[in-house]
Amino acid sequence: MKRILLPVLVVGAMALTVGCATKKYVSKQVDPVIKKVDELDERTAQTTRGIRELDQRSQQGIQAVDAKAASADQKAVAAGQQADQAQQLAARTSTGVNDLTNQVINLDNYHAVRQTGVHFAFNKSDLTARDKKELDEIAEQVPSVKSYIFQISGHTDSVGDAKYNYELSKRRAAAVIQYLVSRHNIPAHKVYIIGLGKDAPVEKNTTARGRAENRRVDVSLMTNTLESQNAEAPQQTPPAAANPQR
């Protein structure tokens, strides 16, 4: 019996020994592999997280770029609209400048279509009935004249102080303006007035008749339109000589 058990025990012991040795061998071979696999899994997870984060940042970057592109498009559209408005304003300004230039040029093209004159007694600025009739006749021409103005210049003889004569000539011109505006509704801005005193005589001041002729207001109805070029030549009503006033 002992002879039989001994070999069995020996074989069993050898099997255990071989089994232990095999497990240790396998463990030595497998453990590093498992460790590398675990490390690889961790790296893979890190890589996956990195890719996910990169994708998120990329999406955010793309959205930011899209937003900036949209903003740039809006700004470009706004800039285009402003450019169009600037061009329109420039065109209107250019038109306005041209119109103003033409108006300024036309200021030098005024010419008389009707002229008359009224006379005054010595040291007086009152209009007579005859003076008013002369003014009525020239005012009646206004409806047929385009872009008109009245040029009114007052005058005196050479008697008296020069400063006083300037003031007197202005009062005489003002009397004419007041009559035209109040009686014939001539707009005040259509009337240009100047008082020349004794500086522009039409006759010599050495005679009573000459001085009477110089105590006057010259009235000119003027226009600057092309239409008036075909109108009748300027008509001048010879002023009636006033009775000499001493």
The per-residue pLDDT string of the chain (246 residues; one tens digit each, 9 = 90 and over) reads 545 555 555 556 555 555 555 666 656 666 776 777 677 777 777 777 878 887 788 788 788 877 887 887 788 788 778 877 867 876 775 676 666 566 555 556 788 899 999 999 999 999 999 999 999 999 999 988 888 999 999 999 999 999 999 999 999 999 999 999 999 999 989 999 999 999 999 999 999 999 999 999 999 999 886 544 544 445 555 454 444 443
Are the CB atoms for 119 and 216 separated by under 8 Å? yes
Q: In whole angstroms, what is the distance from residue 194 CA to residue 169 CA?
A: 8
pTM exceeding 0.85: no
Are the CB atoms for 219 and 174 separated by under 8 Å? no
User: From residue 70, how far is each of 66, 79, 90 by CA, in Å?
Assistant: 6, 14, 30
What local confidence, expressed as pLDDT, does residue 245 receive?
45
Please give the backbone phi and psi of residue 143, each rounded to the nearest 5 degrees, phi first: -55, -25
What local confidence, expressed as pLDDT, does residue 244 receive?
44
* CA 22, 27, 32, 36 torsion-angle sign: positive
